[in-house]
Amino acid sequence: MRELQFREALREAMTEEMRRDKNVFLMGEEVAEYNGAYKVSQGMLDEFGPERVYDTPISELGFAGLGVGAAMNGLKPIIEFMTFNFSLVAIDQIINSAAKMYAMSGGAYSVPIVFRGPTGNAGQLGATHSSNFENWFANTPGLKVIVPSNPSDAKGLLKSAIRDPDPVIFMESEVMYSDKGMVPDGEYLLPIGVADIKRKGTDVTVISFGKMMKVALEAAEEMAKLGVSCEVIDLRTVRPIDYASCVESLKKTNRVVIVEEANPLAGISSELTYHFQRHAFDYLDAPVIRVNSMDIPLSYAPTYIDVTIPNVKRTMEAIQKVLYKS
């Protein structure tokens, strides 16, 4: 095991897969000469050259479409968006081309492509650079959607995403690129669609993914000081969702809190809540509580950001409510 930054784990995943398979290449804004906007691709141009690490114009629709066409013809593109807010410019290629091509061609064309980059709030970037689109993409048949929370998971899941025959949305966080964590030596992959129990517990199940796992785990740690045992589940993948692991935990704790950075309407937390009441209603001793961002565009002001997005205080209040006020 070695300690790596989140960005270093992503770089290792891409580098190892490009060494392994000459059909894998990286394309996006500033990924080559500048070594990546967040230095995720640092040194990759030097190793693989401009034939496999491409700088693109500021034209997400254009280079996303080039990537889809390349994937249909046997290559394996990694398309980096400087932020997933910019993926809206390319969403026609992602939704109407990449996600639907296999079905519309009767299986004649697969699209082994990875769209990756940061998602969600990253500080004082304003509303147009602070959105969460995990649930948007997860709503689309034909896509797989991965949102890792730590360097080890990020590397193993990105390698699996690159090898997957279908289009994969791989969403990171700008505020996590410097996070450090222990990463296994040697070759390893993690299966797409399998959640992970990051902390075992008996009193309440707390479910989250991505950088909100920090909030969930810190809240669980604080609740432990109050004598409450929280089981914390990291979904890791929001399409497909590992419903079975979540239900199994619910059957043990009988209470659920879901922490999700996206706005509350039609989120991943809404989907999980429906699933629990539909398939595990008799095990619930209290209504499921969701902790989401407030239903407003994110402000630039840091004081507003702190109260808008999920935080430890709101998560602890939700845990206490399902325990004591049901």
Q: How many CB atoms lie within 10 A of CB 202?
A: 12
Omega before residue 240 within 30° of 0, cis: yes
As a dihedral over the C-alpha atoms of residue 315, residue 316, residue 322, residue 326, rounded to 10 degrees, the angle is: -120
Q: So what's the pLDDT on residue 302?
A: 87
200 Cβ contact list (under 8 Å, min separation 6): 231
Q: Which of 263, 250, 203 is nearest to 227 (CA)?
A: 203
What is the chain's percent helix, strand, coil content, to nearest 5? 40, 20, 40
Greatest distance between any 2 Cα atoms in the chain: 61
Q: Point out the catalytic residue in the list 129, 172, 231, 271.
A: 129
Q: Identify the structural domains of the chain with CATH numbers, from first to last.
A: 2-183 (3.40.50.970), 196-324 (3.40.50.920)
What is the rounded distance in angstroms from the CA atom of residue 133 to the CA atom of residue 263? 10
What is the rounded distance in angstroms from the CA atom of residue 10 to the CA atom of residue 178? 11
Q: So what's the pLDDT on residue 124?
A: 87
Q: So what's the pLDDT on residue 306?
A: 87
* Residue-level length of the chain: 326
CB 235, CB 207: distance < 8 Å: yes
Helices 312-324 and 212-225: crossing angle in degrees, nearest 10, is 50
Q: Mapping DSSP to helix (H, G, I), strand (E, B) and coil, where does residue 13 land?
A: helix
Q: Which of 211, 271, 206, 262 is nearest to 243 (CA)?
A: 271
Residues of the chain below pLDDT 50: none
What is the rounded distance in angstroms from the CA atom of residue 313 to the CA atom of residue 306? 11
Q: Point out the catalytic residue in the list 60, 80, 172, 260.
A: 60
Is residue 60 annotated as a catalytic residue, yes or no? Answer: yes
pLDDT digits (tens, 9 = 90+) for 131-140: 999 999 999 9
pLDDT digits (tens, 9 = 90+) for 77-95: 999 999 999 999 999 999 9
196 forms beta bridges with 234
pLDDT digits (tens, 9 = 90+) for 304-320: 888 999 999 999 999 99
Distances (CA, A) of 39 to 57, 77, 262: 18, 19, 26
Distances (CA, A) of 171 to 83, 177, 287: 9, 12, 30
Q: So what's the pLDDT on residue 114?
A: 98
